[in-house]
Structure 1
Amino acid sequence: MKTTKLMIKAHPLEPFCDSEKLAAAIAEINICAQACTACADACLGEKNIAELVGCIRSDLDCADICYATGAVLSRLTQPSRELLRSLVQACAVACSVCAAECEKHASMHEHCKLCGAACRSCEKECRNLLEVIR
């Protein structure tokens, strides 16, 4: 998160919200994207792959939405507040859906447990960010 904070601080324009909350959200979003990508890949390596198709799908959907959200939030020049709020809301929903799916498999697969936790943390940060986007 240190580099994210420094990049926000180095930007010539003021961020569209509190820079600490923005940096925290971007960091959690990037962590979640990586966790979801890794979880989907781990699911593909499991013997009971047919039982994990829904988990793989939600992992990949969540990862893609997180990647897009993190990228858009990193752009501070002339943001559309409406777009930002919609994207962060979509990210929170994707994280909630993915966490619920991963939690179904958490007792059997450590990667699902870890991914579910990353998704819940990301969802929380997204909801916190929604409160301060101005």
Structure 2
Amino acid sequence: MVEHAKHAELSNTLYECMVACNHCFDACLQEDDVKMMAECIRLDRECADMCSYLMQAVERNSPFVSELAKVCAAICEACGNECKNHDHDHCQKCAEACFKCAEACKQVA
């Protein structure tokens, strides 16, 4: 039961991060200087995809959850570090979600 609750909490955090990254991705595409946001957009996409994949791996009880969580933590940190460099509200919220997710992934890795 404890393992299931831990994984449910991780899945929720992964979902929140995926949603934040997808929102940031979309909002960055609407910015005046999209070129300046290119790295942020790229990392938002990477992070959202990885969070989605790890969420699925957790749900199917994959034997590779800890390895995937390690990779996901690294991607979340990279995305968070990029997003925190931008003053846009969506970037700041995304960075916060990414850092929270990176910490949750490290607990599982």
Compute the TM-score of the two structures, normalised by the length of structure 2. Answer: 0.94
* Distance of 1:21 and 1:127 partners within structure 2: 13
Tell me the secondary structure at the aligned position of residue 104 of structure 1.
coil
- Residue 18 of structure 1 corresponds to 3
Unaligned runs of 5+ in 1: 1-8, 10-16
- Partner letter of residue 124 of structure 1? E
Show the counterpart of 1:94: 75
Alignment partner for residue 59 of structure 2, among 74, 78, 82?
74
Percent identical pairs in the alignment equals 33
Q: Aligned partners of 1:128 and 1:20: how far apart in 2?
A: 14
Q: Give the superposed CA RMSD.
A: 1.3
Structure of larger gyration radius:
1
- 88, 105, 128: which is aligned to 2:107? 128
Which residue matches 1:103?
A: 84
Task: Normalising by structure 1, report the TM-score.
Answer: 0.77
* Structure 2 unpaired stretches of 5+: none
Runs of 4+ aligned structure 1 residues displaced above 2 Å come to: none
The alignment partner of 1:122 has SS state of helix
